[in-house]
Amino acid sequence: MDPDKEDRIQILMNKMAKRVHARRFQLFPLFEDFDRVRNGHVTQSQFLRVLNDLGLLTLLTGFEKDNLLEKFRVRVGGRDDMDYITFCHELNTLAGFEAGIP
């Protein structure tokens, strides 16, 4: 990704991290509900559904949402999925949560 996109993503991740920290959201369980094979990936629509359920999707403009999807998109078996593990780790780190501690 180009540096401008990375900067924009960092700003929106910080915006989401503030809400995650304030509300003490547990991110992994909601994503894991969709990840039946436990490979760390969900579909784009499942990823967006979790963000919507957490109230994080409303923080993003359409352009920001597209940048976020591009950042965490991975190619799995011929289709594009979302790497929720990396997303959750980055967001939890920005929110100030320690890994492995609820």
Q: What tens digit of pLDDT does each residue of 1-47 get?
A: 788 889 999 999 999 999 999 999 889 999 999 999 999 999 999 99
Specify whether the CB–CB gap between 34 and 71 falls below 8 A: no
Q: Report d(CA 30, CA 71) in Å as an integer.
A: 20
pLDDT of 99: 65
Q: How many CB atoms lie within 10 A of CB 98?
A: 8
The token pair that represents 59 in the structure block: 């923080």
Instruction: Give me the CATH topology for the region 3-95.
Output: Recoverin; domain 1 (1.10.238)
**Per-domain boundaries in the chain:** 3-95
Q: What tens digit of pLDDT does each residue of 42-91 get?
A: 999 999 999 999 999 999 999 999 999 999 999 988 889 999 999 999 99
